[in-house]
Amino acid sequence: MVAGNWKMHRTASEGAALARECVALAAADPLAKRCEVVICPPFTGLAAVGEALAALKGSGVHLGAQNMHAEVQGAFTGEVSGPMLSAVGCEFVIVGHSERRHVMGETDAMVAAKLRAALRDGLTPIVCIGETLAEREQDKTAEVLVRQLSAAYSGLDAATAAATVVAYEPVWAIGTGKVASPEQARDAHRVARATLDQVVGPSTGSAACILYGGSVNAGNAATLFAEDDIDGALVGGASLEAASFWKIIAAASALNRP
Ligand code: PEP
């Protein structure tokens, strides 16, 4: 899977145009069907991008949101719920992105509530975890990943957990140009798999789809994807141009044998 997080970029009409460009590249690429593609525009672009994707039948490109509120409706000014996302065609939603955890103050408990709400509302959550630079330097990476995953997944059964996607995104690598080495990402993904086995049940970790995110681009994607434990990428900056996004998808498709 390759998912594009547009963050707070692109108006509705700019987003629809970018989505059409991505779909045109998908249609021209015979290997594209080997990779599940998700694009996550800001809330204001979801309807227009959803319509653009729906008009291009069988595009294979899915729509995702960048965040949601855990409640279905209510007095939560500025928030958007799962059913509202489904109504504009979303199938996926990112929860616990590091910018929401560290800039907007989301806690592990809030992320756990959003994960459950996404599943309740029929959305596939892409659950972000990852350590800060200070935590890595203090050798606390595994501790942080175990804490974040345990909080998010405890109490879920194996089938429910399997309906989610995990994105390991070291905070120091997001938007910085400092990509984790394939070995650093692999080791973190192995910690995540072992934690899911412990928290949810045996074999949950090996079955999980775990993406790497943090400064993935057309130049480094293939090396990351060559690691068996890396099932794809969550891409920020490089998803804002169809050509660079598509090179990352092509790198994933080339490795993923049918
Ligand atoms: C992200 O926003 O999740 C991300 C990984 O951003 P970037 O690719 O720009 O580092």
pLDDT value for 179: 96
pLDDT at 58: 73
At residue 29 the predicted structure's pLDDT band, cuts being 50, 70 and 90, is confident
Considering the candidates 97, 99, 131, 135, report the single residue annotated as catalytic: 97
**Ligand 1 contacts CB of residue 118 (under 6 A):** no
Examine the pLDDT at 130 and tell me if it is beyond 90: yes
Centre of ligand 1 from the C-alpha of residue 15, in Å: 17
Whole-angstrom Cα distance, residue 159 to residue 161? Answer: 6
Q: What is the pLDDT of residues 173-214, one digit of tens each?
A: 999 999 999 999 999 999 999 999 999 999 999 999 999 999
Residues 6+ apart with CB under 8 A from 35: 1, 2, 232, 249, 252, 253, 256
Q: How far is the CA of 71 from the centre of ligand 1 (A)?
A: 27
For ligand 1, whether the C-beta of 40 sits within 6 Å is no
Predicted local distance difference test score (pLDDT) of residue 32:
76
DSSP structure class, residue 119: H
Mean local confidence (pLDDT), 21-36: 85
Residue pair 65/93 in contact (Cβ under 8 Å)? The answer is yes
Tokens 């692109």: give the residue. Answer: 10
The candidate with the shortest Cα–Cα distance to 89, out of 33, 7, 34, 15, is 15
Distance from residue 202's CA to the centre of ligand 1 (Å) = 31
Q: What percent of the chain has pLDDT over 70?
A: 99
The percent of residues above 90 in pLDDT, for the chain, comes to 90
State residue 55's pLDDT score. Answer: 83
pLDDT computed for residue 256 by the predictor: 64
Over the stretch 34-65, which tens digit does the pLDDT of each residue have? 899 999 999 999 999 999 998 877 778 999 99
Where does the pLDDT of residue 6 fall: very low under 50, low under 70, confident under 90, or very high at 90 and above?
very high
Q: pLDDT at residue 164 above 90?
A: yes
pLDDT given at position 257: 56
CB neighbours of 105 closer than 8 A, spacing ≥ 6?
none
Residue whose CA is at the smallest distance from ligand 1 atom 4:
236
Averaged over 71-84, what is the pLDDT?
Answer: 98
169 catalytic? Reply is yes
Domains detected in the chain: 2-255 (3.20.20.70)
Range 117-145 average pLDDT: 98
What is the Å distance from ligand 1's center to 167 Cα?
11
Instruction: Report the distance separating Cα 242 and Cα 223, nearest Å.
Output: 20
List the residue whose alpha carbon is closest to atom 8 of ligand 1: 236
Mutate to test the pocket of ligand 1, among 1, 2, 7, 101 (most ligand atoms within 8 A of CB): 7
Q: Residues 81-88: what's their mean pLDDT? A: 97
* Residue 255: per-residue pLDDT: 81
Alpha helices by DSSP H, listed for the chain, are: 12-28, 43-55, 82-87, 98-102, 108-120, 133-137, 141-153, 158-162, 182-199, 204-207, 221-225, 242-255
**Strand, coil or helix: 115:** helix
pLDDT at 31: 78
Q: Which of 5, 104, 128, 168 has most ligand 1 atoms within 8 Å of CB, for mutation?
A: 5
Distance (Å, whole) CA 177 – CA 179: 6
